[in-house]
């Protein structure tokens, strides 16, 4: 996400692609979380860089 300046539209496009793929595999309850390991965004703590994202319940990030 850091490479695309935490752009919400970019994340939504990636999420849509993965959601389509997961549906073909009949996966249920897949969570999509925007993260950037370089700065620890949504990896170790909720990131201010993605204020548009609501962290799912039970997610430790």
Instruction: Say what the pLDDT of residue 55 is.
Output: 76
The pLDDT score that the predictor gives to residue 11 is 96
CA atoms within 13 A on the CB side of 13: 7
Share of the chain above pLDDT 70, in %: 92
Of residues 44 and 49, the one with the higher pLDDT is 49
Spatial separation of the C-alpha atoms in residues 1 and 15, rounded to whole Å: 12
> Residue 14 domain-assigned?
yes
Contacts of 18 (CB under 8 A, 6+ apart): 30, 32
Instruction: Tell whether 57 is covered by a domain.
Output: no
Residue 27 lies in a domain: yes
Q: How many domains does the chain have?
A: 1
The answer to whether 1 and 49 have CB atoms below 8 angstroms apart is yes
**Cβ atoms within 10 Å, residue 21:** 11
| pLDDT band (50, 70, 90) for residue 15 | very high
Output the pLDDT for position 19. 95
């Amino acid at each position: 996400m850091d490479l695309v300046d935490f752009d919400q539209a970019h994340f939504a496009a990636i999420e849509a692609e993965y959601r389509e793929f997961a549906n073909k595999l009949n996966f249920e309850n897949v969570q999509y979380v925007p993260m950037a390991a370089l700065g620890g965004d949504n990896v170790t703590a909720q990131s201010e860089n993605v204020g548009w994202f609501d962290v799912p319940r039970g997610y430790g990030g």
